[in-house]
Amino acid sequence: MSISKDARQIVESAVQGVMAKAIALAPDGWIPGGEPDPLIRSRHGHVGKPVSRLDGPLKVSGTAPFAAEFPMQGMVYAALVFGTVPKGRIAAIDTEQAESSPGVLSVMTYRNAPRIAPPPVFMSGPKAAGGDNLPVMQDDAIHWNGEPVAVVLAETQEQADHASSLVHVRYQSEPAQTHFAKAKAAGTRTATFMGQPLHNEIGDAEAALVRAPVSVDVRYSTPRHNHNAIELHAVTAAWTGDELRIHDASQLVAHEAWSIAQMFGIPEDKVVVTSPFVGGGFGGKCLWQHQVLAAMAAKASGRPVRLVLSREGVYRVVGGRSLTEQRVALGADREGLLKALIHTGVTAKTASNAMPEPFIMATRSAYASETISLDVQAVELDMLANTFMRAPGESVGTFALECAMDELASALDIDPIELRVRNEPKNEPISGLPFSSRNIVEAWRTGAAKFGWDKRSSVPCSTRDGEWLVGMGCAAGTYPYYRMPGGAARITLTHDGQAIIDIAAHEMGMGTSTAQTQVAADRLGLSMDAVVFRYGDSTLPGVVLAGGSQQTAAIGAAVSAAHHSLVKALLKIVGNDSPLAGLKPDEVASGDAGLCKLGDPALHETYVSILARAGQTSVTVTAEAPAPLETQHWSMHSHAAMFCEVRVNSVTGEPRVSRFLGSFDCGRILNPKTAASQFRGGIIMGLGLALMEETQFDERTGRVMNPSLSEYHVPVHMDVPEIDVIWTDIADPHTPMGARGIGEIGITGTGAAVANAIYNATGKRIRDLPITLDKLL
């Protein structure tokens, strides 16, 4: 390369840099014909850079305050007593011995607990957060095995724990339904999820299945799973007069504050929930009884209360993923084109929640088929309410669907990737909507090349390494794009050129605060140092659930709306001497720490100068994100092509994953470093789902029998091989920043990729998770 050419490139890229740095206001463009977010075109800012997590130093130095670490004056410690029958009444409860135990302040039971209303159950209202709608320690009724029956308060945790063993309870048992097969035999009901029945029909799929020249019709099952975030659920609750402050580990601070206010019958703004750091959420850190019990105990005792669930406590009080039994039947012509796609099955929920595991969600947009029949039936059991757990529906639904696709590929003798590519839908089959952006085929091709898929033998049992049978498998993963209503953000621009972004969002270790600082810096034309991203506090604007992988889009849309308001507010005060005088909001862009004329970066004034000229120390604006209309117009999903190599021991059946690659199509990747961790984390959880995770729910008693990390297996380091992750990085033109959520997709498709690899290695189809060695002997 000549020097002159080199120099020219540098100049060019510098010019592009300036141009790119000037970011126009994002249009409210989540509608057909709307303009994509201008940040998508910006390739020289902070977005897309592998920035290390801003909270990293705090975490490694142990100075990030988690919920169990907030110091409080006069605080007391709580321990819970869990019930031991699935259903019935408390016949007698003797707290005397506990009360006279050293250090004990009081023992709260239904007899002396403050009277409150039941929790508003999740999805029953915009801010409802309850895992169920059962009364919390209000009467003698027992609803599940493990329900808290007493709260012991003491001066130290050890005193509380000991005294909790001195509470003696006698139960009057009542007949309980804890047996899945018996409940099914008594009748199932079509499940509804988010107000819609989990049922779709296109044509007569059963008839088409019978007519199809090639078909598979198989049944799969997935067990119950429990949440095992490394941080135990913990809460510190204190009342000051009629105001309740809760330091929590929460993925929905605003929902939680509102819901708890409803329960105590006090105004919403009298409850403040903060949650600056959360050590893993995955759907489990919502509103369960422990926060409410801590608040009740704090009210009754007049002291701040700290309540940390034990690991067992998490299993007794926090719901997990429900079990599923699924049927997938696929009919195809000899070329592999689907004529019939049937995905049906049964799951269990409780009478007190609205959460049937929606395992057909991924199937709705997966493949083109002439006929489709999807259906989820549910039974209600007497158990702790099940709940969201990383990719609810998709994680276990893709296991069944994608194993069945592999079985069909074998039956047809077509490469499983090719079979999937042949069945790519033009529009979403169920809704008929066009896809906002779908590049799964590219993900398949690049993934297959990088993984070395061409080295796979399509004949099972053909690769052996000593005692080990080696095989490769693949599967598609997918997760929808969501953006829930309620997003709002505040921007405060200060005279020294800092922008403070305030939004009631959450950092659960994903890197949200880092990625959103990058986005806001680019949006406002600032360096990252000049942006302060504040979150995890219910008094901040916005009702933002860190769930459904929707936070990134929800925050992005809210901050972009606030950016609009900020520019409007600044143009009002620029005055006549500013180079920006007379410009309208849609004629300006943010860049170089200020505003400039669109297309003419030379007409520029810094924020510092604008504020100084106007004699203002700061400007504050708050704005709400526009309604999430994009999901009405497009079928919006992230995709993944998962590749797995396993080794199965021919003597012992031990299955071990030796290689894994995830090839993702998730829109624009905002931060490759934090994204790679999210993808890998999801895949690791998927390996657990495939090979070992299983809650032992004793159907005789409705009791979870393995409530510990010793007996409930999740992958250990040695179970996790090097995991390669790659992505298309193709921006979705219909989302803020061109990004779609990435937090949950990693667990989808992974279970099937493992199962399909095991088939390739051994010739055995294991259709019941987890795939433990006894199934491979």
Partner 1 sequence: MTPFTYSRAADTAEAVRRGTIPQARYLGGGTNLVDLMREEIERPDTLVDVTGLSHEIEELPGGGLRIGAGVRNTAVAEHRSVRSRYPALSRAIVSGASAQIRNMATVGGNLLQRTRCAYFYDEAGQCNKRSPGKGCDALEGFNRNHAILGASPACVAVHPSDMCVALVALDASVHLRGSAGVRHIPLTELHRLPGDQPHVETVLDPGELITAIELPPQPFAARSTYRKVRDRSSYAFALVSVAAALQIEDGHIRDVRIALGGVAHRPWRASRAEEVLRGGPVGAIAFAAAADAELADARPLSDNGFKIELARRTIIAVLGNLAGETA
103 binds partner 1 (CB under 8 A): no
Residue with tokens 């019941």: 768
Q: Residue 775 CB, nearest distance to partner 1 (Å)?
A: 8
Of 42, 95, 109, 145, the one binding partner 1 by CB under 8 A: 145
Q: Residue 684 CB, nearest distance to partner 1 (Å)?
A: 12
Asked if 646 and 761 count as a contact pair (C-beta separation under 8 A), the reply is yes
Of 9, 156, 165, 190, the one binding partner 1 by CB under 8 A: 165
Q: Which of 225/343 has CB closer to partner 1?
A: 225
Q: How much helix, strand and coil, in percent to the nearest 5, is found in the chain?
A: 30, 25, 45
Residue with tokens 């003419």: 600
Q: Residue 651 CB, nearest distance to partner 1 (Å)?
A: 4
Which region among 45-53, 331-339, 436-444, 713-721 touches partner 1 (by CB under 8 A)? 713-721
Asked if 77 and 154 count as a contact pair (C-beta separation under 8 A), the reply is yes
Q: Which of 15/777 has CB closer to partner 1?
A: 777
Q: Residue 709 CB, nearest distance to partner 1 (Å)?
A: 9
Q: Which of 150/216 has CB closer to partner 1?
A: 150
Residue with tokens 């493992």: 754
Q: Which of 146/547 has CB closer to partner 1?
A: 146
Q: Which of 114/763 has CB closer to partner 1?
A: 763
How, if at all, do strands 243-248 and 271-274 pair? parallel
Asked if 205 and 294 count as a contact pair (C-beta separation under 8 A), the reply is no
Which region among 136-144, 161-169, 237-245, 266-274 touches partner 1 (by CB under 8 A)? 161-169
Of 5, 115, 455, 717, the one binding partner 1 by CB under 8 A: 717
Cα–Cα nearest to 673, from 61, 17, 56, 63: 56
Q: Rounded to whole angstroms, what are the CA distances from 697 to 244, 288, 333, 550? A: 36, 20, 42, 32
Q: Is 744 a catalytic residue?
A: yes
Q: Which residues within the stretch 449-488 sit at the binding site for partner 1 (CB under 8 A)?
A: 467
Which region among 159-167, 400-408, 501-509, 603-611 touches partner 1 (by CB under 8 A)? 159-167
| DSSP run (H or E) holding 494 | strand 488-494
What is the three-class DSSP state of 185? helix
Q: Residue 161 CB, nearest distance to partner 1 (Å)?
A: 7
Q: Which residues within the stretch 652-671 sit at the binding site for partner 1 (CB under 8 A)?
A: 652-654, 656
Rounded CA-CA distance 281/388 in Å is 10
Rounded CA-CA distance 504/537 in Å is 5
651 binds partner 1 (CB under 8 A): yes
Rounded CA-CA distance 302/674 in Å is 42
Name the β-bridge partners of 698.
703
| DSSP run (H or E) holding 443 | helix 440-451
Residue with tokens 């159950």: 121
Q: Which residues within the stretch 307-336 sit at the binding site for partner 1 (CB under 8 A)?
A: none
585 binds partner 1 (CB under 8 A): no
Q: Which of 14/777 has CB closer to partner 1?
A: 777
Asked if 22 and 597 count as a contact pair (C-beta separation under 8 A), the reply is no
620 binds partner 1 (CB under 8 A): no
| Neighbour-count burial of 326, counting CB atoms closer than 10 A to its CB (0-12 exposed, 13-18 middle, 19+ buried) | buried
162 binds partner 1 (CB under 8 A): yes
Cα–Cα nearest to 244, from 232, 255, 258: 258
Write down the H helix ranges in 239-324: 253-264, 289-301, 311-317
772 binds partner 1 (CB under 8 A): yes
Q: Which of 230/718 has CB closer to partner 1?
A: 718
Q: Residue 716 CB, nearest distance to partner 1 (Å)?
A: 5
750-762 vs 394-412: helix crossing angle, rounded to 10? 30
Q: Which of 498/696 has CB closer to partner 1?
A: 696
Which region among 347-355, 521-529, 711-719, 758-766 touches partner 1 (by CB under 8 A)? 711-719
Rounded CA-CA distance 513/535 in Å is 8
Site track 687-706 with partner 1 (rule: CB under 8 A), x = hit: ----xx---x-x-xx-x-xx
What is the three-class DSSP state of 605? strand
Rounded CA-CA distance 305/73 in Å is 10
Exposed e or buried b per residue across 335-351, where buried means at least 16 C-beta atoms within 10 angstroms of its C-beta: ebebbbbbbbbbbbbbe
Half-sphere exposure of 58 (CA within 13 A, CB side): 10
> DSSP letter at 699?
T
Q: Residue 228 CB, nearest distance to partner 1 (Å)?
A: 14
Q: Residue 290 CB, nearest distance to partner 1 (Å)?
A: 19
Strand-by-strand arrangement of the 588-591 sheet: 23-24, 588-591, 594-597, 600-606
How, if at all, do strands 23-24 and 588-591 pair? antiparallel
Which region among 157-165, 349-357, 446-454, 533-541 touches partner 1 (by CB under 8 A)? 157-165
Count of residues engaged in binding partner 1, rule: CB under 8 A = 34
Write down the H helix ranges in 594-643: 607-614, 630-633
5 binds partner 1 (CB under 8 A): no
Of 88, 715, 736, 746, the one binding partner 1 by CB under 8 A: 715
268 binds partner 1 (CB under 8 A): no
Cα–Cα nearest to 493, from 569, 424, 552, 592: 569
Rounded CA-CA distance 285/653 in Å is 36
84 binds partner 1 (CB under 8 A): yes
Q: Residue 88 CB, nearest distance to partner 1 (Å)?
A: 13
For residue 158, what are the contacts with CB-CB under 8 A and spacing of at least 6? none
Q: Residue 692 CB, nearest distance to partner 1 (Å)?
A: 6
Which region among 60-68, 283-291, 557-565, 717-725 touches partner 1 (by CB under 8 A)? 717-725
710 binds partner 1 (CB under 8 A): yes
Q: Which of 576/710 has CB closer to partner 1?
A: 710
Q: Which of 124/173 has CB closer to partner 1?
A: 173
Site track 718-737 with partner 1 (rule: CB under 8 A), x = hit: xx------------------
Which region among 47-55, 63-71, 484-492, 710-718 touches partner 1 (by CB under 8 A)? 710-718
Q: Rounded to whole angstroms, what are the CA distances from 526 to 191, 503, 522, 617, 736? A: 49, 19, 6, 18, 19
73 binds partner 1 (CB under 8 A): no
Rounded CA-CA distance 133/196 in Å is 20
Asked if 639 and 428 count as a contact pair (C-beta separation under 8 A), the reply is no
Q: Which of 261/690 has CB closer to partner 1?
A: 690
Which region among 1-9, 198-206, 321-329, 649-657 touches partner 1 (by CB under 8 A)? 649-657
394-412 vs 672-691: helix crossing angle, rounded to 10? 70
Which region among 4-12, 617-625, 651-659, 676-684 touches partner 1 (by CB under 8 A)? 651-659
Q: Residue 708 CB, nearest distance to partner 1 (Å)?
A: 8
777 binds partner 1 (CB under 8 A): yes
Q: Residue 289 CB, nearest distance to partner 1 (Å)?
A: 18
Q: Which of 304/715 has CB closer to partner 1?
A: 715
774 binds partner 1 (CB under 8 A): yes
Q: Which of 325, 428, 624, 744 is catalytic?
A: 744
| Neighbour-count burial of 672, counting CB atoms closer than 10 A to its CB (0-12 exposed, 13-18 middle, 19+ buried) | middle
Of 6, 158, 243, 586, the one binding partner 1 by CB under 8 A: 158
Residues that bind partner 1 (CB under 8 A): 84-85, 145, 158, 161-162, 165, 467, 651-654, 656, 691-692, 696, 698, 700-701, 703, 705-706, 710-711, 713, 715-719, 772-774, 777
* Residues acting as catalytic residues: 744
